[in-house]
Structure 1
Amino acid sequence: MRLIGKAAGILAVTAALATASAPSMAQTKVTISQAFQSMLYLPFYVAIDKGFFKKEGIDVDKETAGSPTAALSAVLSGSAQFSIHGPEWTAIAAAKGADVDIICNVVNGAAVWIATTPDFKFNSIKDVKGQKIVTGLMPTTSTSLFIKLLKENGMDAKSDVDMLQVQIGSEPGPFIGGQGKVAVLYEPGLDQVVAQGMKVVLGFPKAYGPYAFSSVTARKGVDPKAAQGVVNGMELALRYMQTNVDDTVAIAKQEFPTLDGKIVEAAVRRMIAEGVYPKNVDTTPEALKVSMDTQIALGNLKEQPVYDKFVVRDYVKKALALPH
């Protein structure tokens, strides 16, 4: 009995020493409000699934707001510390005096494509003149980019095309149903119509290059420890996605169980290959300018936000320095 007691005491001391020597990183709870459950936000889901946030001491409560403005409103009201959506919404709010900025890149390509029916002859965007175009209900970046592209090519969205605007995500239905020979699509809608024989004729990721499409937004007074942990977790996720494509596809299938697995895989591989998912969390001045130019062209912004005041790179620099 004396030996058993002695052994138990040794075990207790050993356990205490192990606990004391383990990293004492307490988990900081944060709420991140995403605009939608979207395949664009896959880096966010990877960070959660692979435990990258927890590794950085962050316990994330994921909320889905239903729209970019609702997600941003959650940050402005204090019900969420961070939000994920297009940086244009943050820029518009900041221009009106809101104390918000972006701290992390999530999507760095203009993740929009134009598809047509197999028989449609497409040599340039001017070929869509006079056509009915199935596209997302404004305000949305897909339709905004399409309108801007028309304008850049001497066409007007109101007079030169007939836009059939439908709820975002439902574009494949009327397109496949024959209500238009041209559609402007996000993923996974693009690969849904490709699976039905439609053809991709123009990809905005290749046309525009780096484009700040989705970002993590926070208030300027956000807890710096929490912000650093979130940015670090996203950095680790983005690195993981570049070198572990199969596992990234598997995570996407878990996040979107009602979609055909082949469609999910095609969409994820397309977005990785075309640089839609960035290789790191940095938002470059060039990527932000191209993104904000779209909003200026549409009249949503009067001028470019000042990069150094709008993009917080302190957290980004530390995340980029994490060991590989």
Structure 2
Amino acid sequence: MIRSKHLRFSASLAATLGFASLVSLPARAADKVTISQAFQSMLYLPFYVAMDGGFFAGEGVEVTKETAGAPAVALSAVISKSAQYSIHGPEWTAIAASKGAPVNVVANVVNGAAVWIATAPDVTFNDVKDLKGQKIVTGLMPTTSTSLFLKLLKENGLKPEDVEMTQVQLGSEPGPLLAGQAKIAVMYEPGLDQVVAKGMKVVLGFPERYGPYAFSSVSARKDVDPAITQKVVTGMQKAIRFMHAEPEKTIAIAKKQFPNLDPAVVEAAVKRMMREKVYPDSVDISAEALKTGMETQVALGNLSALPDYATFVRRDFIEKSLAAN
């Protein structure tokens, strides 16, 4: 009896000590990273979903979001190591890499040429040649919307001087169009659906015209911590998967991120970009999408040659995130 009590006491003590040792172990601290975005943009919704939906946190990463105000500034933060990752067009990363910067891209964010042409209701538009002689509002260069518009003109036998371009600050394109100062505008979201809500019409969508297009991506230094980067890329992948599975919850996150916009405009913009495949199906960046996106920059003289896909796109991070999801 004494032995039995002793055994029960020993077992109880061991269990208690074991439990105490477990609860006394500190939880593993989350890896802290800074991601510098070029702008607060509806295009970057996969990033915001990864943050607000808890997908970064679920991978053990605590993200601080910084807004640089320009793509080059966001990438400079990565090069100088004041941020670990940046989000903007991959052309900025390719240009920097061509000049010797140790940077490449690790994940997809936007996979469609997210630019549209909107006109006043009374404008007749059958094809691009109808733009000749027209006054057209575009974003202030350098910006992809205007770069793509110039490419579109060239592909259709027109020159920049064949149209009257008025370049304005990004985001302010709706103003001149709605005020009647011009009847045509080249724009991003949410400006597009802001003018559509006021009766303007969409006459051309670049996402449909160009198909898969590496428009925005996550960039990093080549010497970035690989274990943490894998967590960031996997978090982005899970967020993108969530966006397609839960569109209404995705729209709710977008409304939270853009509280000063009309909720109806936010919803219309998100649905349009989902429908037209602006938001990617995954973090993968195909060779075709990169080539299409970079050819625009080569044509404009911003790049002398296309980046080498094998070294520019970190497929190791991408493939592991796809395998885990």
Q: Distance in 1 between matches of 2:43 and 2:24?
A: 39
Whether 2:286 is the aligned partner of 1:281: answer no
Q: 1:180 aligns with which of 182, 189, 198?
A: 182
Whether 2:247 is the aligned partner of 1:245: answer yes
* Deviation (angstroms), 1:226: 1.4
Q: For each residue in 1:32-83, what CA deviation from the matched residue of structure 2 results, as whole angstroms up to 9, or x when unmatched?
A: 0000000000000000011111111111010000000000010011100100
Q: Following TM superposition, where does structure 1 have runs of at least 4 consecutive aligned residues deviating by more than 3 angstroms?
A: 9-20
Aligned to 1:90: 93
The aligned length equals 314
Q: 1:69 aligns with which of 63, 69, 72?
A: 72
Q: For each residue in 1:105-161, what CA deviation from the matched residue of structure 2 results, as whole angstroms up to 9, or x when unmatched?
A: 00000000001110000000110100110110000000000000001111111x100
* Deviation (angstroms), 1:188: 0.2
Q: 1:56 aligns with which of 55, 59, 71?
A: 59
Which entry has the higher C-alpha Rg, 1 or 2? 2
Q: Distance in 1 between matches of 2:20 and 2:200?
A: 62
SS at match of 2:208: helix
| Runs of 5+ unmatched residues, structure 2 | 1-11
Aligned to 1:154: 157
TM-score (norm 2): 0.93
How do residues 2-41 of structure 1 correspond to structure 2 at under 5 angstroms? 14=19, 16-17=21-22, 25-41=28-44
* Deviation (angstroms), 1:17: 3.4
Aligned to 2:220: 218
* Deviation (angstroms), 1:306: 0.6
Report sequence identity in percent: 65
Aligned to 1:167: 169
Aligned to 2:5: none
TM-score (norm 1): 0.94
Aligned to 2:146: 143
Aligned to 2:118: 115
Over 3 Å counting, the alpha-carbon distance change for 1:127 and 1:225 in structure 2 is: same
Q: Distance in 2 between matches of 1:124 and 1:215?
A: 31
The Cα RMSD (Å) is 1.8
* Deviation (angstroms), 1:16: 4.6
Over 3 Å counting, the alpha-carbon distance change for 1:121 and 1:12 in structure 2 is: farther
Aligned to 2:7: none
SS at match of 2:321: helix
* Deviation (angstroms), 1:26: 3.3
SS at match of 2:162: coil
Over 3 Å counting, the alpha-carbon distance change for 1:11 and 1:277 in structure 2 is: farther
| Runs of 5+ unmatched residues, structure 1 | 1-6
Q: Distance in 2 between matches of 1:25 and 1:295?
A: 44
Q: 1:263 aligns with which of 256, 265, 268?
A: 265
SS at match of 2:124: coil
Q: Distance in 1 between matches of 2:324 and 2:118?
A: 40
